[in-house]
Structure 1
Amino acid sequence: MVVLTNTTLERITLPVAPKPSTYFSGIPVINLAQPGSETLLVRACEELGFFKVTNHGIPMELIARLEEEAVKFFSLAQVEKERAGTGNPLGYGNKTIGHNGDVGWVEYLLFDVTSKPMSHTALAFLEEPSASSLCSALNEYVSAMRKLVCEVLELMAEGLRVQPRNILSKLVMDEESDSILRLNHYPPCPHLPELDSSLTGFGEHTDPQIISILRSNNTSGLQIYLRDGSWVTVPPDQDSFFINVGDSLQVLTNGRFRSVKHRVLAHGLKSRVSMIYFGGPPSGERLAPLPLLMGEGEESLYREFTWCEYKSFAHGTRLTDNRLGQFQR
């Protein structure tokens, strides 16, 4: 269990959200090694837009190594972390999420991930050997995530009975694919308000990309929004990966798959460290419902737009805004 207690995050005014009393037991679990998993996967995307994968083939040593490097970074003095705030492709931030007024009880590292290995020179704010160690862990993890994203998207195509098998995965495996890796740290917040509520770590939102793959330590906080209007807590599982349908995949399936709204609440005593890989398409990729998934006489729910257009629009919105509403017919 990872607990970082020496955080320099100052106390800020944050939204207070009620805590669900129990964990949600209805999270679909997809065993990637089990025959028929493609059918279960499609059903999970249609009904919830969120699921957990097991037997994913990612070595736990690789996962633990990146988490260890993340903990080392977030344990640095604030002035040292701030040196990473203007780098490219890496950036550090705390409290402020985006440029439009959203805040949270969180600090993070954000990486612009491409198909090319990251050079440790991009981590020049760290002294050697720390830069090389973090860079190596990042490259190994990103390589593993690309393979897992590809496998999951190809299983989706199988389950949807569309060809070619890489009709979805090619969008995130292209050399120009716009993918992101985010390392989040939610420090302990021992002075929470009344016991039946919690501070917001990361406010409610959907992910703009095609697909998101999340892994965290064994600390709760992640919640998803159900269609009945309730928020439920996802039981933590540090050995598995959780996968979100993103806005772009909702468009590609003409709303058959639903981009799930989710948020993170601060924990009173434990640190939460999460690693999220966002698989996005190339900047100029035109997004519209795939004709192969359209039934006879079915009309498109969305007008065609490029990923660059959608990403630019999303960056100008608040977390809670309905981004896709701008692109609906």
Structure 2
Amino acid sequence: MVIVATPNSIIQTEKIVSINLPTIDLSKERTTVAKLIVKASEEYGFFNVINHRIPQHIIENMEEAGFEFFAKPTSHKVKLASNYGCKRIGFNGDVGEVEYLLLNGSDSHIAKLSTTISNGPSDFRYKVSAYRDAVEELACEILELMAEGLGVPNTSIFTTFIKDPDSDSLLRFNHYPPPPSPLPTSPSSLLGFGEHSDPQIITLLRSNDVSGLQISLQHGVWIPVIPDPSAFSVNVGDLLQVMTNGRFVSVRHRAVSNSEKARMSIAYFGAPPLNARIVAPPEMVTPERPSLLFRAFTWADYKKATYSLRLGDNRIDLFRNNK
């Protein structure tokens, strides 16, 4: 099961086996749920949650706002400058078959950009703010369950960061248009968003019922994830790997465009304030991990490192202890 990446496409050289991520029902008994979340975070770094209590109309309104924006002429979208991108990803030459809209999670930022993004700015602002509030609450619930499952007495140790008024959390719409037909090399898929791990604490991802997400549990082996329209996908970010002293794993993933239907994903990236100090709590130093794997740093330090490297470069190793 090997997939070879070319500059613009991914050629499948052996049969790909899809994976159903662990699906965790949040309505079940709390202690059991916490244990299942910890297990999934250790083994996969990814899992789905169902019965998340986010109303369907909030999800549908957000998806509608995203598709309406991407349907606008390019001349309109480019007015958003650094908040909008098409094919170019980041500042270091990475490209993909994707266009995106990036929003800071704060009310003031959403309100400011809504007048440019939408012909109905108040409606757009309402839809995005309602979604942001709902996924932030869900992220906090999951992070508290993680802390409980890890045996950390202060169960708000992770949530404090993203509840902070100066949190650097983000919302990102990624739109992957259908590839040209026929595909350049058959069988193949276009690379939408290249290999990477998420640098923040936690990511909550929602996509329309179109495949495209792939994860790598072994170096060089990419496994397609079967989409589940009833669930939110959750993945461990780099900062959470650091704060669990390597117990949780921030897994590399990517997106490909291989369908006749457009794919749109909406990601919430839960992040701390820029000056937040990132270090594992004492409870994460155990006989199995008798020392800190990573030195302390600020989110500003890590964010700077993230933007200075190519998409697939390994950032987290820059902060490993060498003792």
Q: Same fold (TM over 0.5)?
A: yes
Q: Is residue 231 from structure 1 mapped to residue 222 from structure 2 by the alignment?
A: yes
Q: What is the SS of the residue equivalent to 1:303?
A: coil
| Structure in which a larger fraction of residues adopt helix | 2
Question: Greater CA deviation, 275-284 or 288-297?
Answer: 288-297
Is the 8 Å Cα contact of residues 200 and 266 (structure 1) preserved in structure 2?
yes
Deviation for aligned residue 1:26: 4.3
Q: Indicate whether 1:300 and 2:320 are aligned.
A: no
Distance 1:134 1:315 in 2: 29
- Cα distance 1:211–1:276, how it changes in 2: closer, same or farther (>3 A)? same
Judging changes above 3 Å, is the alpha-carbon distance between structure 1 residues 22 and 175 closer, same or farther for their aligned structure 2 residues? same
Give 1:29-178 correspondences, 5 Å limit: 29-35=23-29, 36-86=32-82, 91-114=83-106, 116=107, 118=109, 120-126=111-117, 128=119, 130-178=120-168
Residues 118 and 139, structure 1, Cα contact 8 Å, conserved in 2: no
Q: Which of the numbers 185, 195, 214 marks the counterpart of 2:205?
A: 214
Kindly indicate whether the alpha-carbon contact (under 8 Å) linking 1:220 and 1:234 is maintained by their aligned counterparts in 2.
Answer: yes
1:18 and 1:256 map into 2 onto residues whose CA distance is 32
The aligned counterpart of 2:318 is: 326
Cα distance 1:244–1:19, how it changes in 2: closer, same or farther (>3 A)?
A: farther
DSSP 3-state at the match of 1:83: helix
Verify the 8 A CA contact 1:174 1:282 in the aligned structure 2: yes
Distance of aligned partners of 1:283 and 1:228 in 2 relative to their CA distance in 1, 3 Å threshold: closer
Structure 1 position 127, deviation (Å): 5.7
Tell me what 1:9 maps to.
none
TM-score normalised to structure 2 length:
0.92
Residue in 1 that maps onto 2:3: none
Given that residues 48 and 260 in structure 1 are in contact (C-alpha distance below 8 angstroms), is that contact kept between their aligned partners in structure 2? Answer: yes
Q: Structure 2 counterpart of 1:323, which letter?
A: R
Aligned 8 A contact 1:95 1:105 in 2: yes
The CA deviation at 1:167 is 1.2
Q: Provide structure 1 residue ranges, at least 5 long, that are not aligned to the other structure.
A: 1-12
Name the counterpart of 1:5. none
Relative distance call for 1:273 and 1:26 in structure 2 (3 A) is closer
C-alpha separation between the residues in 1 aligned to 2:18 and 2:219? Answer: 14
Shift of 1:85: 1.9
Partner AA of 1:101 in structure 2 = G
Q: Which amino acid aligns with 1:244?
A: N
Which stretches in structure 2 are left out of the alignment for 5+ residues?
Answer: 1-6
The total of aligned residue pairs comes to 311
For 2:172, the equivalent position in structure 1 comes to 182
Aligned partner of 1:267 among 247, 258, 268: 258
Offset of residue 21 of structure 1 = 4.0
